[in-house]
Amino acid sequence: MRWLIAGLFFALAISLMIATAAIRAQNVAERRAIQKIYDAVQDRDKELLRLGFEGLESASPERLAQLHREWLERELERREESFR
């Protein structure tokens, strides 16, 4: 009986050791995945800020007026073409 108990305790110790190592490894793997997500969020945050400021610049009255003027010129050319 005592041999059985001793064997079970030994198996338990080995299992605990393996489980601990596995959990720690899983922890690192999860943290590594979080780090990747964190980096991706950082990257997108920078992209978002850039797009925000670019949007602000492209929506300035001067820029919109320029775009409108270009559009009108193209429309004029198109109508002249169709008239001919």
Nearest 10 degrees: CA dihedral of 42, 47, 48, 52? 140
Measured over the CA atoms of residue 36, residue 38, residue 42 and residue 48, the dihedral's sign is positive
d(CA 75, CA 82): 11
Smallest distance, another protein to C-beta of residue 59, A:
6
Smallest distance, another protein to C-beta of residue 69, A:
15
Report the interface residues with another protein, using CB under 8 A. Answer: 10, 28, 31-32, 34-35, 38-39, 42-53, 55-57, 59-62
Residue placing its CB nearer to another protein in the complex, 21 or 76 = 21
Residue placing its CB nearer to another protein in the complex, 6 or 19 = 6
Q: Which are the contacts of 57, defined by CB distance < 8 A and separation ≥ 6?
A: 63
Smallest distance, another protein to C-beta of residue 44, A:
6
